[in-house]
Structure 1
Amino acid sequence: MDDYLINKEAEMIDLLEQFVNMDSGSLDIHEVNQFSRELQRLFTCIGMDVVVNEQKDVGNHLVIRSKECVHPSILILTHMDTVFEKGTAKNRPFSRDTHRAYGPGVIDMKASLVSIYYVMKTLKEFSRQSIHEVELLITSDEEIGSIYSRDLIEKHAHNKRYCLVLEPARKNGAIVSARRGKGNFTLEVKGKAAHSGIEPERGRSAIEELAYKIIELHDITDEEEGINVNVGLIEGGTSANTISDHATAQVDVRFRTQEQAIEIEQKLNDIMANTEVDGTKISFEGEINRPPMEKTEQTEKLLRIIKRVGDELQIFIKDTETGGASDASFPSALGVPTVDGLGPVGGNPHREDEYLDLSSFVPRTLLLLHVIEELTKR
C-alpha cells in the first residue's frame, strides 16, 4: 500500500492545485456547493456512499462512508470552507516552489481533503476492511464557528471509539492534543449625549462606562491557568465634543477546562450586574460556543498509538496544546478520544503567505492511513 500511495504524489499535488483554485469561502454558498459537488464526484467515483446534508444558510455538509459500512468506529472530521473572499483563487492561484505550495486554503484545509481522499482510495484499492470502520464528515462552516454543523458533528460523534481531526499539523510537525474552549460576547452600553463644552453635566458617557468594563474584563485573564479575556473591537460616540450616548465592544473568551467556563460566566455576570457611571445601562449578550478539547487519559492512549505508528514510519510525533478553536472540541466534550492536527504540515493559515510543506504531504497521508489501520485492529 505504501508504494502505491507514494507513487501518487504527483497526482495528489495536481488535485491540490485544482482544490485551491476553487473558491470556497464560508459565506459564499454557491462556491462552497460547487466545491462540495466536486468532492461528491470524487468520492462516488471510488465507490463511496456520499450523503448530502442540505443547508440553506451555508453550503451543504457531506457524510461519506463505504457502501458496506454499518457501525463505523472512527469519525474523521474535515471542512471544505475557507476564510477567503470570492475571487481570491483567481487573483492568487495555486503556486509552488521546491519546498512549499501556496494558495488560499492550501493548508487549512484543502491539503487534508486531498490526503483523506487518497487514504480512502488506497484502502479501497487494496480492499482493506478498515475502510468499513471510517465515517468521514466534511462540513462547510468551520471557519465561521460551525454554527450550522455542530449538531451534525455531535450526532455522528456519538458512540464512536475515536475521532481524528484533519486540521493542519503545527509548523514544527506537532499534532494537537488539547484546545482551549471559546466564547464570544457583545457588550453594549447606552448613555446620554450632551455637548462636552456647554453642558457636560447633563451627559452620561457610555464610553467611560465601557472603559471601566474593559479593565474588569481583562482582569479575568489568568495566563498560567490558560484563561484569556480579550476586548478586541470597540466602537462608540459621534464626535470628540459630544459625550457619548452609545458604545459597544466585542469580547473573546478562551479557557482550558469546562469548570473554568462556568467560573468565567459567573464573573461576567457579576461584572455586568452594576454600572460605574450613573445613568448608563448595559446589555451583554453571547455564549460559550466551543467547549475545550481536554487532554484526557483516553486521549493519551490514542496519542501513544499514533506516536508508535509514526515511529514505525520514521515520523517522530510530538503533541501540543493550542488556543485556537476547531471542531475537535465537540467530540472531545462528548468523551470521544480525539486528536487534532493530523493533516499535513504547513503554516500561516488565513494569510496571503499560507503554505503547505510539500515534504510532509505524502508522509502525513501515510501516517493517517496507518493510524486508521492500527485503530481498526482493536
Structure 2
Amino acid sequence: MDCKEKAFQWVDTHHDDMISLWKQMVSIDSGIGVKEGGMEMGNLCAGILEKLGFSIRRYSFEKCGDTIIGERGDLSKPYPILMGHMDTVFYEGEPKKRPFTIKDGVAYGPGVLDMKGGDCIALSVLTALHEAGFDFPCKVILVADEEPAHCFSNNPEIIEKESKGAKCAFNFETGFPDHDITVQRRGCWRFTIETFGRGSHVGNDPKHGRSAINEMAHKILDIEALTDYDKGYNVNCGVIEGGTVPNATPAYCKMDCDFRYISNDDLPKLKEMVQKIVDHVYVDGVTSKLTTTEGFDVMERIPGNMELLKIAQEVAKEEGWPVPGPKLCGGGSDAAYTCKMGVPTLCSMGVEGEFNHTVEEYANVDSLFARAKLAIGILLKVGEKQS
C-alpha cells in the first residue's frame, strides 16, 4: 500500500474522529472580538500540530487570539503552506444558541462552513499524511481575526512575511457545492462617510437646521450607482445611523460601506470616484468626511494558481471525482496575501456548503472527507512534480 492509499485509508477509518474535531471547533466561541475563544482555538490547533512534529511560533495581539505559525522540516527550500482562520463572523454566545448539529448528512452551527470545517480538514490532512509516513516540510498559518478584516492585528503583513520562500499555498476557506476551487478573489474596500449638519427645532426654527441625513441620502444614491457588474464593481451602503429625535433636524449621520473590485488597479479610481461624491454638497452648510476603515486586497489570478489547479484536476480525474473548475470569488480572503508575494495559491479548499455569515449556514458532511482526500492527493502530487 503506497502513501496515498494509506492516507486515504486513514480518512476512511477516522470519520468519527474528524467529525468530533469539527464539533469541538464549532463549539468554541471564537466570534468577532472574543479573544478567549480565539486563544482556545489556537491552543487546540497548536497542540495537534505539535503532536505531528511541528514547532510553534505565535504572534500575540491585545484584542484577538494569537496567530499560530507551525513549522516542520527544512524550510530553507521551497515548501507548501496550509492556512486558514480560526474566528467566525458571529458575536459572543452564538455557539450556545446554535450548537453543532448534523441532520440528513448536513452540518449546522456558527462557522461550520466558514471556516471551522476547513481548519478541521487541514489538520486532518496533516495527520493522515503523518500516519502514512509522509512528513513533508511545510508551514501552517492560522489567524484569529480574519472576519473583521484584521482590524485587531497586522496579520496581512505577517502572512506576507511568513510566505517568503514558499512554493505554494492552500487556504482551506469555504468550499462550494459546485466543487470549483478559487483561483482569484475580488478586493474589498470598506469605508465610512460622515456628514455634519446643524441641529434645530423643526417646529420653532426649521429653516435654521441643516440635515446631515438629507445630505447622506443623496450620497447613498450616488454611491450605490457606482455599481457596475460589467467592470466587476459592486458597492453596498450597509450600515447607517444618525439623528436624535423626530422633532430635531439631524446634525450628524454616519454610513459604513463595502466596495468590491476585481483588480488592484481599480482601487485608486474607485477611491477618487467616492471622494468626488463626498466632496459634492447637496445641502448648503453640511460638510462631509471620508475615512477608510479596513478591507482585503485582491487575490490576483497569477499563472501559478492555474498550474496548481491543473494538479487538483489531475487528482480528481485519476480518482473519478468531480473535476474542479476555476472560480472567481467575490468574498475576500487571506489568499490575497500569499498571491501578493507571488506564491501560487488555491483557495476555498474547505468543506462545501452555502450561506456564509448567516444563521442558515450549512456544510455537506461528506465533503469533509472528500476535500481531505483531494488535498492529500494534491500535496503528494506537488511533492512528486517538484522532487
Same structural fold, with TM-score higher than 0.5 when normalized by the shorter chain: yes
What one-letter code is carried by the residue in structure 1 that aligns with 2:343? V
Q: Which residue of 2 aligns with 1:53?
A: 59
* Among 77, 98, 101, the residue aligned to 1:95: 101
| 1:147-226 alignment, distance < 5 Å | 147=151, 148=153, 149-226=155-232
CA distance in 1, matches of 2:78, 2:85: 19
Q: Distance in 2 between matches of 1:163 and 1:337?
A: 6
Is there any run of 5+ residues in structure 2 with no aligned partner, and where?
A: 1-5
Q: Distance in 2 between matches of 1:345 and 1:70?
A: 34
1:352 to 328, 348, 359: 359
SS at match of 1:242: coil
Alignment of 1:265-344 (within 5 A): 265-286=271-292, 289-315=295-321, 316-344=323-351
Deviation at 1:343, TM superposition (A): 1.0
Q: Tell me, what secondary structure is at the counterpart of 2:147?
A: helix
Confirm or deny: 8 A CA contact 1:26 1:32 kept in the other structure: no
Q: Decide which moves more: 265-274 or 56-65.
A: 265-274
| TM-score normalised by length of structure 2 | 0.91
* Residue aligning to 1:143: 147
- Secondary structure of the residue aligned to 1:374 is helix
Residue number in structure 1 paired with 2:255 = 249
CA contact 2:32–2:92 (8 Å) conserved in 1: no
- The 8 Å contact of residues 297 and 332 in structure 2, kept in 1 or not, is answered as no
Q: 1: distance between equivalents of 2:146 and 2:296? A: 11
User: Cα offset for 1:138?
Assistant: 0.7
Instruction: State the secondary structure of the residue aligned to 2:92.
Output: coil
Displacement of 1:272 after TM fit? 2.3
Greater displacement, 2-11 / 182-191: 2-11
Alignment correspondent of 2:382: 375
Report what 1:361 is aligned to.
368
Per-residue Cα deviation, 1:208-233 (whole angstroms, up to 9, x for no partner): 21122112212221111110122112
Map Cα deviations across residues 54-87 of structure 1 (whole Å, 9 max, x no partner): 2222101111122554444222221111123333
Q: Which runs of 4+ in 1 moved over 3 A?
A: 67-72
Say what the alpha-carbon RMSD is for the aligned residues: 1.9
1:142-198 residue CA offsets vs partner (Å, 9 max, x unmatched): 111123111111111223222211002112222212211011111111111223343
Matched residues in 2 for 1:288 and 1:266: separation? 17
The separation in 2 between residues aligned to 1:120 and 1:278, in whole angstroms, is 63
Counterparts of 1:39-78 in structure 2, within 5 Å, are 39-78=45-84
Conserved in 2, the CA contact under 8 Å of 1:72 and 1:135?
no
- Which residue in the other structure is 1:239 paired with? 245
What is the number of residues matched between the two proteins?
A: 376
Q: Give the partner amino acid of 1:331.
A: T
Query: Residues 216, 370 of structure 1: CA spacing in aligned structure 2 closer, same or farther, 3 A cutoff?
Result: same
TM-score, length-normalised on structure 1?
A: 0.93
CA apart distance, 1:287: 5.0
Is the partner of 2:274 in helix, strand or coil? Answer: helix
* 2:297–2:337 CA contact under 8 A, matched in 1: yes
Residue 319 of structure 1: how far off its partner (Å): 2.6
- Residue number in structure 2 paired with 1:120: 126
